[in-house]
Amino acid sequence: AAQEGFDPEEVEGAIGEAGHGPLPVLAVVGRPNVGKSTLVNRIIGRREAVVEDKPGVTRDRVTYEAEWAGRRFKIVDTGGWEQDVLGIDASVAAQAEYAIEAADAVVFVVDSTVGATDTDEAVVRLLRKAGKPVVLCANKVDGLSGEADAASLWSLGLGQPHPVSSLHGRGTGDMLDAVLEALPEAPAQTFGQAMGGPRRIALIGRPNVGKSSLLNRVANEDRVVVNEIAGTTRDPVDELIELGGITWKFIDTAGIRRRVHLQEGADYYASLRTAAAVEKAEVAVVLIDASESISVQDQRIITMAVEAGRALVIAYNKWDTLDEERRYYLEREIETELAQVAWAPRVNVSAQTGRHMEKLVPAIETALAGWETRIPTGRLNAFLGEIVASHPHPVRGGKQPRILFGTQAGAKPPRFVLFASGFLEAGYRRFIERRLREEFGFEGTPIHISVRVRE
């Protein structure tokens, strides 16, 4: 395969499309029933019917990818919140706090037919404290007559209220233009990393797998570094911990330590927190309770990290409790339930006894190295050339699609663009991914492959 005959602009264009780095995060917050979910559905352009969710039904999906005017970003939707857990004010505030913390910018939705309430004012105080850019959405302005109601929201002191009807779409374009102005090109965390800050770890897993035990174990064995490094003041919930001679930033340790176990809505809290931590992290360490069967919830948490494009380490905790039989079944479960992440480094630990704690850092470093890998274009194409020669795509309808040229569009995680003479079947794409992993490693990282068909 050669680059011959390829217009550099075409290649650049494809790289631009496939090669986005971590996306900035937009949080949509506000009281219940102001129309947050309706707005989010409109922005993501999908009918996910979030609005029809029954109260109390757990939604584990809280972040979505969206695009406006050619720019992509993530939305954290807080619409699934159950208001009656803590009382309305407290729950709205808690929900907003989580979401704001994860976000680079915030859309604050107010029901303009109701006007600003005390709860709204409470959220405004949180927003001021957080100091993140805010776009004020005056929702339910379905017609001209509502504009005056919207204007009265100037009183909130958040600048211009954007009159919007999430239901009908009125005004959403103008509001999204304002959102793009408020949203940085890349998430703040990326800038932090560029300045050489500590690597960021999200320690995640379902309740009771041993997150706080593990955190205490690693924080006790090694020195806990005072939270004084520049740029960390914004995130008092994160903790700097020295492990294996390196300082790491553990994301949202307050959430782990505090262990608020609410009854109703607790799962939703947990999902939101997990998603927020993953967004802020480079590597996710997913803790699994090895003494219990691998659950759907474990899988969802892993999927969250993979979909967010983070490096991944899987730690099987409570190893001290395993007998022969359980060990046997665990291996079978891992093979069947977690085959899709067989590339993730694995450690078998016990937070209680300290077993294999020293293996955690090497596993994290391996995953981060895979995540950051860049393959030079020449080497990649030599490799692709060999594959095309030895394992050509099957002939379909008298034609045989060929990979003509490939390039790595980006890293963290690695993203590839393949130019092909025809559509490449899913099976063949999987084969390419498998071979890429065999050849170049990519241990601990998801990889993305997109294919451009050249007519």
Annotated binding site for GTP: 30-37, 77-81, 139-142, 205-212, 252-256, 317-320
Query: Which of 210, 255, 265, 370 is close enough to bind ligand GDP by CB under 6 A?
Result: 210
Helix (H, G, I), strand (E, B) or coil at 107: strand
Residue with smaller CB distance to ligand GDP, 172 or 445: 172
Half-sphere exposure of 276 (CA within 13 A, CB side): 30
- Asked if residue 213 binds ligand GDP (CB under 6 A), the reply is yes
Q: Are 217 and 354 in contact (CB under 8 A)?
A: yes
- Asked if residue 401 binds ligand GDP (CB under 6 A), the reply is no
Region from 180-188, 240-248, 346-354, 407-415 binding ligand GDP, contact rule CB under 6 A? 346-354
Q: How many residues bind ligand GDP (CB under 6 A)?
A: 32
- Asked if residue 288 binds ligand GDP (CB under 6 A), the reply is no
- Asked if residue 167 binds ligand GDP (CB under 6 A), the reply is yes
Measure the CA–CA gap between 328 and 334, rounded to whole angstroms: 10
Range list of H helices, 6-110:
8-18, 36-44, 88-102
Residue with smaller CB distance to ligand GDP, 214 or 306: 214
CA angle 163–167–168, rounded 5-degree value: 80
Token pair of 311 as six digits: 């490096």
- Asked if residue 166 binds ligand GDP (CB under 6 A), the reply is yes
Query: Which of 10, 12, 16, 33 is close enough to bind ligand GDP by CB under 6 A?
Result: 33
- Asked if residue 207 binds ligand GDP (CB under 6 A), the reply is yes
Measure the CA–CA gap between 240 and 215, rounded to whole angstroms: 11
Residue with smaller CB distance to ligand GDP, 117 or 352: 352
Region from 204-212, 277-285, 366-374, 416-424 binding ligand GDP, contact rule CB under 6 A? 204-212
Q: How many residues does the chain have?
A: 455
Residues annotated within a binding site:
30-37, 77-81, 139-142, 205-212, 252-256, 317-320
- Asked if residue 312 binds ligand GDP (CB under 6 A), the reply is no
Measure the CA–CA gap between 239 and 215, rounded to whole angstroms: 10
- Asked if residue 352 binds ligand GDP (CB under 6 A), the reply is yes
Amino acid, res. 122:
A
Range list of H helices, 45-158:
88-102, 118-130, 147-151
306 to 28, 118, 286, 290, 302: CA distances (angstroms): 23, 40, 11, 21, 6
- Asked if residue 139 binds ligand GDP (CB under 6 A), the reply is yes
Residue with smaller CB distance to ligand GDP, 28 or 375: 28
Measure the CA–CA gap between 16 and 415, rounded to whole angstroms: 11
Query: Which of 48, 242, 320, 337 is close enough to bind ligand GDP by CB under 6 A?
Result: 320
- State the minimum distance, in angstroms, from the CB of residue 391 to ligand GDP: 44
Q: Which of 382, 423, 418 is nearest to 399 (CA)?
A: 423
Question: What per-residue string of b and e applies to 327-347 under the rule 16 or more CB within 10 Å gives b?
Answer: eeebeebbeebbeebebbbbb
- State the minimum distance, in angstroms, from the CB of residue 47 to ligand GDP: 13
Residue with smaller CB distance to ligand GDP, 317 or 366: 317
Amino acid, res. 142:
D
- State the minimum distance, in angstroms, from the CB of residue 209 to ligand GDP: 4
DSSP H or E run through 288: strand 283-289
- State the minimum distance, in angstroms, from the CB of residue 203 to ligand GDP: 9
- Asked if residue 34 binds ligand GDP (CB under 6 A), the reply is yes
CA angle 305–235–444, rounded 5-degree value: 25
Query: Which of 162, 211, 280, 415 is close enough to bind ligand GDP by CB under 6 A?
Result: 211
Measure the CA–CA gap between 156 and 19, rounded to whole angstroms: 39
Query: Which of 22, 24, 32, 133 is close enough to bind ligand GDP by CB under 6 A?
Result: 32
- Asked if residue 317 binds ligand GDP (CB under 6 A), the reply is yes
Region from 163-171, 326-334, 389-397, 443-451 binding ligand GDP, contact rule CB under 6 A? 163-171
- Asked if residue 351 binds ligand GDP (CB under 6 A), the reply is yes
Query: Which of 89, 97, 142, 292 is close enough to bind ligand GDP by CB under 6 A?
Result: 142
Query: Which of 14, 23, 36, 161 is close enough to bind ligand GDP by CB under 6 A?
Result: 36
Range list of H helices, 19-87:
36-44
- Asked if residue 35 binds ligand GDP (CB under 6 A), the reply is yes
Measure the CA–CA gap between 246 and 284, rounded to whole angstroms: 17
Residues 219-278, interacting with ligand GDP (CB under 6 A): 256
Region from 13-21, 172-180, 200-208, 278-286 binding ligand GDP, contact rule CB under 6 A? 200-208
Question: What per-residue string of b and e applies to 95-133 under the rule 16 or more CB within 10 Å gives b?
Answer: bbebbbbbbbbbbbbbbbeeebbebbebbbebbeebebb
List residues near ligand GDP by CB under 6 A. 30, 32-38, 51, 79, 139-140, 142, 165-167, 205, 207-213, 256, 317-318, 320-321, 350-352
